[in-house]
Chains A and B, each alone.
Chain A
């Protein structure tokens, strides 16, 4: 098991108080906190070897390039990629998906071709496909959500066809916590000749993820949700597919030869990394990957599974509380969207904040999903490796405070 108290000591921000109370940070699905090693790597880079990468003959540039490329290899190992050149650095998951939408989908999709997404998607795995469909005449198909918060896989099998070019699905829902069976979905898609993009923004930080086991063709995720700095996203693409793709952005670093009227592209992955990348943040993403690897992603998952079981049990004790999404711990991650009677999520969030408990209140970039659930918004508590059962207790106690305030009003009318 994880030694959570020791882990917590590595995260300086967890020492702070909010409104006079110890911080209980439960907004990890939005972004995670950073261990000292990551923060120090940023400082170290700027103090010792700040330079542009892939350009200079001088020592600093060589050191920066080595550090940058070492992290590419670390990322490849972390997700089980066969080749580090399959790893493209972008800004975030959203940019990774848009890269596929522009550099692959718009060149491949023909009128009448189909792209399958699901009702559980974050806007970032929906809008890029809406736009690509609009530009190409392709058709967007939806895998419906069942009432238990899981995807309707019978419907999925039924809408897959030889017209399907791409299946774009999130591995773990940021709103419901549902873990989708993407390996099975990928196998079915490949039988129809379609490619598969997995949005791993929520899964790569929390589950062991191996692209060979998933069998997907694209995997997109963000460093900042997995202990790394903001500004780093990853697009992993199977080599044959990536090599077949034209550039996304044009500019420096992505070319071999340039004439006034044309250019030859660089090899992968540099073909997709035009301009100066976010060097410092990529370099500091390295210690984040090391931190997770040292703990072991199976251990991270085991810890969160235990927290999830405990949170499900404790939250069910709260009168009037409804948990959206799967009700069993095994088929979900540590992301809990909930409602509390008719109290608006904003009011829940404000009262919890006064108690030092940080959660998210809103539509979680899933407006169509919120409509499907019949609510304008939900409150969302999301856990990570440094969270404890005592913090679940703090959440439950703070929810009691919410009920106290809003129950008081009801008693007077």
Chain B
């Protein structure tokens, strides 16, 4: 990847700063099917995620929290990427994003297909900050597991 930008410009791309300054889907859902939170004890970043799930799709999603630009922008982009998507597609994008950030096979991921999330590739050059980018996704993964466990117990909507 060589866009001619310095690695710092690559990290703080306009689209990331835009999501940081004007986060999408920020807040808490009034009646979520699953709500979950996570934090990064090293830097105090916090993300709360609430999801409403209907007919196997993410009908609505919201996040709250505080932290650095990378964690908050990643959360904002994540909500846009999963809203209205079937759970299988959500799991797929979750897997692709984690691969993109952490895996040696990152080239195998079609980053362009990830939309705004593609902009977070610059974070890979800052290993300490990868944790920031992954925090909301780890909360999402746990949320999906909580939802599945709830379903297995025969509760909840759908």
Contact = CB atoms under 8 A, between A and B. Distances in A.
B17 interface: yes
Interface stretch (B55-63, B64-72, B140-148): B64-72
A410 interface: yes
A410 B21 contact: yes
Contact of A370 (B6, B44, B132): B44
Interface string A342-382: 01111100110010000001110000001000001100000
A354 B7 contact: yes
Contact of A412 (B6, B18, B68, B126): B18
A408 interface: yes
B157 interface: no
A409 B126 contact: no
A158 interface: no
Given A346-B129, A376-B44, A351 B8 contact: yes
A413 interface: yes
B69 A344 contact: yes
Q: B7, B20, B70, B132: which has the most chain A beta carbons within 10 Å?
A: B20
* Size class of the B contact interface (CB-based, 8 Å): 20 to 34
Given A344-B69, A354-B7, A409 B20 contact: yes
Contacts of B67: 344, 346, 376
A354 B21 CA distance: 22
B126 A350 contact: yes
Given A413-B18, A413-B21, A362 B42 contact: yes
A376 B7 CA distance: 27
B105 to A, nearest CB: 26
Interface of B: 6-8, 11-12, 14, 17-18, 20-22, 42-46, 66-70, 126, 129, 132
Given A344-B43, A346-B67, A408-B17, 10 more contacts: A346-B70, A347-B68, A354-B7, A354-B8, A362-B43, A363-B43, A405-B8, A406-B17, A409-B12, A409-B14
The 9 closest A-B pairs by CB, nearest first: A376-B44, A409-B17, A344-B68, A346-B68, A354-B8, A413-B21, A377-B44, A409-B21, A413-B22
